[in-house]
Amino acid sequence: MDTNKFKGTNYNDWLRNLRIVLDFENQGYVLDKPLPTVLPEGSSLEERLTFDKWLEDNRKSAVSYWLRRPTRFKSNMIGWTMFP
């Protein structure tokens, strides 16, 4: 993981590596697809499971993103939330 950290000049390589990891973990879609709308009352079990999976995958991908950032950039993200 340390060899693929963002250094400021390697954004394209860093993003490609992040996408590879997230795609391998079947979580890359959260970078490209918006959060499903808030579930209306009476949503089906399938809709609730899909919504919950998106939230969980978004959380995991945000943690992966956080771990791959250098310390000097993490300090700029105090108060930043991983959750919608």
Element (H, E) at 55: helix 45-67
pLDDT value of position 83: 46
pLDDT value of position 3 = 65
pLDDT in tens, 3-46: 667 777 888 888 888 888 888 888 888 888 887 778 888 999 99
Q: Which residues contact 41 (CB under 8 A, 6 or more apart)?
A: none
In this predicted structure, the answer to whether residue 80 has a pLDDT above a threshold of 70 is no
pLDDT in the model for residue 84? 47
**49 pLDDT tier (thresholds 50, 70, 90):** very high
SS3 72: helix
Report which of 73, 79, 75 is spatially closest to residue 9, judged by C-alpha positions.
73
Contact criterion met (CB below 8 Å) for 36 and 51: yes
Q: Is the pLDDT of residue 59 over 90?
A: no
**Closest residue by Cα to residue 15 from 27, 5, 30:** 5
